[in-house]
């Protein structure tokens, strides 16, 4: 392990992924400055991190005897200054990500790895927003990132070996395994998973089966661990729709055009676990 990573990283975006990644880092002894434009998101993020840290502990997902890292939250992006790496986990929008990455790179300066956590926006596309594209690399942490030990890494056409090595070093500190894939819309996992969830939602929309039945069949017959619609609820249906749109726009794959039921659920604020209601109802709206 490289001692350098036991200092402090910055996570920008305190939503589902940003708080999960912060939980993971803190639990492995790495301090985090968590940045979001929205004070309410930061407040929710702090509660999520506390709750997820307890859950991670109960699940034996954190190293024993490690002093947890500290957590600082701020709405001021200049808070990333001094971080040894910045993980951007803001909304899945190329414009929002480009603006954040451009601003962050101006604060940390060259040589600090900028890690974009995206479901499907190519790193090569985001590279135009930073002055030093070799510092930019992509991750696709899965949710919940403090429990899932595999991380998909996408290397942009201009990402340097130094940046990739620094990211792998950080992931090793966080005890995550990495698989590096070529940069492309949706990489591997979203290219496979997102159209599948979209099709599952469409089956419900067409009245062919209820959500529970679709998930039961995928679990019982095909060995899917949770079922696609429970997975959609965990991802967040707003993020799922944004990611499908990003994929559809870049690949032309009609299987990635969000189906009517998904769009209706997002319109009605039924975003999955984060709002307590999606394809299922949840008493606990946080995880």
Binding window for ligand NAD (CB under 6 A); candidates: 10-18, 107-115, 162-170, 200-208: 10-18
Between 97 and 134, name the residue whose CB sits nearer to ligand NAD.
Answer: 97
92 contributes a contact to ligand NAD by CB under 6 A: yes
119 contributes a contact to ligand NAD by CB under 6 A: yes
Binding window for ligand NAD (CB under 6 A); candidates: 59-67, 113-121, 254-262, 278-286: 113-121
174 contributes a contact to ligand NAD by CB under 6 A: no
3-class secondary structure, 151: strand
Closest CA to 251 of 158, 159, 122, 128: 122
Name 11's bridge partners.
34, 87
For 213, half-sphere exposure in the C-beta direction (CA atoms, 13 angstrom radius) is 7
Chain residues 223-252 in contact with ligand NAD, contact rule CB under 6 A: 235-236, 239, 243
Catalytic residue annotation? 140
3-class secondary structure, 203: helix
Binder among 22, 49, 89, 98 for ligand NAD (CB under 6 A): 89
Residue 201 Cβ, how far from ligand NAD at the closest point, in Å? 15
Binding window for ligand NAD (CB under 6 A); candidates: 9-17, 22-30, 160-168, 260-268: 9-17
Binder among 11, 12, 114, 237 for ligand NAD (CB under 6 A): 12
Binder among 16, 33, 34, 115 for ligand NAD (CB under 6 A): 16
DSSP for residue 78: G
Positive or negative: CA dihedral 185, 191, 197, 203: positive
Question: Mapped to the 3 state alphabet, what secondary structure does 238-275 carry?
Answer: HHHHHHHHHHHHHHCCHHHCCCHHHHHHHHCCCCEHHH
| x/- map, 27-66, ligand NAD, by CB under 6 A | --------xxxx--x-------------------------
Task: Answer whether 124's CB lies under 8 Å from 158's CB.
Answer: yes
Edge-first strand order for the sheet with 31-35 is 71-74, 31-35, 8-12, 86-88, 114-117, 136-141, 150-155, 177-182
How many chain residues are in contact with ligand NAD, going by CB under 6 A?
29
Residue 186 Cβ, how far from ligand NAD at the closest point, in Å? 10
d(CA 253, CA 263): 17
CA 94 to chain centre: 15
Chain residues binding ligand NAD by CB under 6 A are 12-18, 35-38, 41, 89-92, 96, 100, 117-119, 140-143, 235-236, 239, 243
């Amino acid at each position: 392990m490289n001692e350098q990573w036991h200092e402090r990283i910055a996570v920008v975006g305190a939503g589902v992924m940003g708080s999960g990644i912060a939980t993971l880092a803190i639990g492995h002894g790495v301090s985090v400055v968590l940045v979001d434009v929205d004070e309410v998101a930061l407040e929710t993020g702090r509660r999520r991190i506390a709750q997820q840290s307890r859950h991670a502990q109960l699940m034996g997902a954190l190293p024993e005897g490690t002093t947890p890292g500290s957590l600082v939250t701020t709405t001021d992006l200049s808070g990333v200054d001094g971080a040894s790496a910045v993980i951007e986990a803001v909304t899945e929008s190329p414009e929002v990500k480009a603006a954040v990455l451009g601003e962050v790179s101006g604060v940390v300066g060259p040589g600090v790895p900028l890690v974009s956590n995206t479901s499907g926006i190519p790193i090569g596309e985001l590279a135009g927003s930073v002055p030093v594209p070799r510092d930019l690399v992509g991750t696709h942490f899965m949710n919940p990132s403090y429990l899932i030990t595999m991380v998909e890494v996408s290397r942009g056409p201009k990402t340097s070996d130094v940046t990739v090595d620094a990211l792998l070093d950080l992931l090793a500190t966080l005890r995550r395994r990495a698989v590096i894939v070529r940069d492309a819309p949706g990489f591997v996992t979203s290219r496979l998973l997102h159209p599948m969830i979209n099709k599952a939602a469409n089956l419900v929309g067409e009245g062919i089966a209820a959500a529970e039945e679709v998930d039961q069949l995928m679990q019982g017959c095909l060995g899917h661990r949770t079922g696609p619609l429970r997975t959609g609820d965990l991802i967040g249906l707003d993020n799922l729709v944004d990611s499908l749109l990003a994929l559809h726009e870049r690949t032309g794959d009609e299987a990635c055009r969000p189906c009517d039921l998904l769009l209706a659920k997002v319109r009605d604020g039924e975003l999955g676990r984060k709002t307590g209601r999606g394809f299922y109802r949840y008493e606990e709206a946080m995880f």
